[in-house]
Amino acid sequence: MINLGEKVIYQIYPKSFYDSDGDGLGDLQGIIAKIPYIAKLNVDMIWFNPFFVSPQNDNGYDIADYYQIDERFGTTADFEQLVAELKKINVGVMLDMVFNHCSTQHEWFQKALAGNKKYQHYFYLRPAKVAGSLPNNWQSKFGGPAWSRFGQSELYYLHLYDPTQADLDWHNPDVRAEASKIVNFWRKKGVQGFRFDVINVIGKDHELVDSLNPIQEKTLYTDTPVVHQYLKELNQNSFGQDKEIITVGEMSSTSIANSIEYTRPQEHELSMVFTFHHLKVDYKNGQKWSNMPFDFMKLKSLLTSWQLNMDRGNGWNALFWNNHDQPWALSRFGDTGKYRIKSAQMLATALHCLRGTPFIYQGEELGMINPDYKSISDYVDVESLNAYKELLRQGKTPQAAFNLIKGKSRDNSRVPMHWDASATAGFTNGTPWLQPTNQAEINVNAELDHGEIFNYYQKLIALRKNYRLISQGHFIPLLEDNHAVFAYARCLADSSEKVFVFNNFYGTDTIVKLPTMCTKQKGKILLSNYPNNLDKLPQELHLRPYESLVWCTL
């Protein structure tokens, strides 16, 4: 049985990693060229965002062919070479499977449009209501109605996301069989992991009723009981046939109870889940396109609740601050100026010492921050551009709307990887598809030469590999009422040893009174982002700005 607690996974956004041919887009040969850098990371697996054939209306999450590599990124031979080269350094490959929807350019949808009844049953096609209005009042997550006209017919098709992303009808056993077939195809290519995009919204009802309000609307298609049935079937018919494969489901607006069931080994569904509650603590009134300081107490409460309850239920978390859909965590929860290094190290410590499997997003190990764009024309993300128009319609001034996009756009983390300090950040010899802006200070060359963040990540990865307390231990919250410090302990049922982790989330000194369980035993510092020589924890612990301290009892 694979030990998920010892694994660390790195996420590569291929379009932005490294461009080998000067067209401004990252590609598979670019990733191969950077394998010496990947080897330095000491990770176990790489999750690659989709590089399948796609019109790229949603950066590859609108797949037109699940079996072919998009020529923008390379060829099947390039992919096979990538898998082989990564295997030489003991790094596995995790592919992104987008099974809730496919591109309207996919042959399934095109055959459906041409009148093929078999393929029409692959999608949610519904007539207008008697009064002529849309089949229901659901809204797309990218803005606007979730229905578009199905060609020249009197029918409409459902798209929870962009109109070019048609939702697949999982009630149809042929659709479920297609999903298993795709997974098995890539397994034969040597793929050892699968990440399933928004997989908990595949369980829509046959009858797609109107919602009462936006909050209730999500319950009509999210985490419905049939999702578990579908995942068990997919597991049995594909990846579950190999006990070494790692799977992770992206779970939109999910619950702890469902996430336990998705990941509890005896359920035979998934290895772990991505959940996003902790990344919404700077959403004013639950709205993404808003501006407010993050709610630290809410963040701490959410992390604690998920840690405790997933542990008790024998579920498993994927741990992450950053990905391709989020602005940089350092720009949200840290300090991008004076304490950029310390706060990057603190955020990494707070996360990597938790129970779960850590994911590192490309550039996070450099301390990358949001780009300093000056105009809405600098952005390309469909969600951001739609949101900007909607904010203007709501009465926001162009500057106010732009500021909200600047803070929360998905393009923030999609900027090209910073390899050096040049104008294109060493990403391309051409014109990058998205402009880098902070590369003069933050880049791979500088970080490997004299930086402090990359090496700190290496120490965190080593702790997870070497300490069973961290890879397998239970979670105990500490200092729950403290308004500046996120602290916790890790312990094992068969050992009296404990690891204590203290993280100051602010740029000011703070003193915390420690519980007796922390101070009564001698121990040693496993890791700190400040000089420390303690051989025993004091009753009152002084934490400097963004200080992290990992302490193990002897």
According to DSSP, residue 47 is labeled E
Neighbours of 510 (CB within 10 A): 18
Long-range CB pairs of 297-306 (<8 Å, 24+ gap) are: 297/483, 299/333, 299/486, 300/480, 300/486, 302/277, 302/278, 303/278, 303/354, 303/486, 304/475, 304/477, 304/480, 304/488, 305/256, 306/256, 306/259, 306/275, 306/277, 306/278
Tokens of 261: 């069931």
Per the CB < 8 A criterion, the answer to whether 177 and 185 are in contact is no
Distance from C-alpha of 283 to C-alpha of 504, rounded to nearest angstrom: 22
Angle between helices 225-237 and 256-263 (to 10 degrees): 20
- Per the listing, tokens 């659709």 go with 175
Rounded CA separation 51/377 (Å): 25
| 31/17 Cα distance (integer angstroms) | 7
- Residue 449 Cα distances to 231, 358, 406, 426, angstroms: 46, 25, 31, 16
Residue type, 536: K
179 phi, psi to nearest 5 deg: -60, -45
How far is 443 from 70, CA to CA, in rounded Å? 28
**Residue 48 in tokens:** 């690659």
Check if the beta carbon of residue 112 is closer than 8 Å to that of residue 120. Answer: yes
Tokens representing 349 are 């410590």
Alpha carbon distance 107, 250 (integer Å)? 26
**Dihedral (C-alpha) 41, 77, 94, 345: value to the nearest 10 degrees?**
20
- DSSP state letters, 51-118: -EE---TTTT-S-SEEEEE-TTT--HHHHHHHHHHHHHTT-EEEEEE--SEEETTSHHHHHHHTT-HH
The CA-atom distances, in angstroms, between 236 and each of 188, 225, 240, 472 are 16, 18, 5, 26
- Residue numbers annotated as active site: 197, 250
CA trace torsion 322, 326, 330, 336 (10° rounding) = 150
The partner residues of 24 in beta bridges, in order of sequence, read none
Are 246 and 193 within 8 A, CB to CB?
Answer: yes
d(CA 519, CA 85) in angstroms, rounded, equals 48
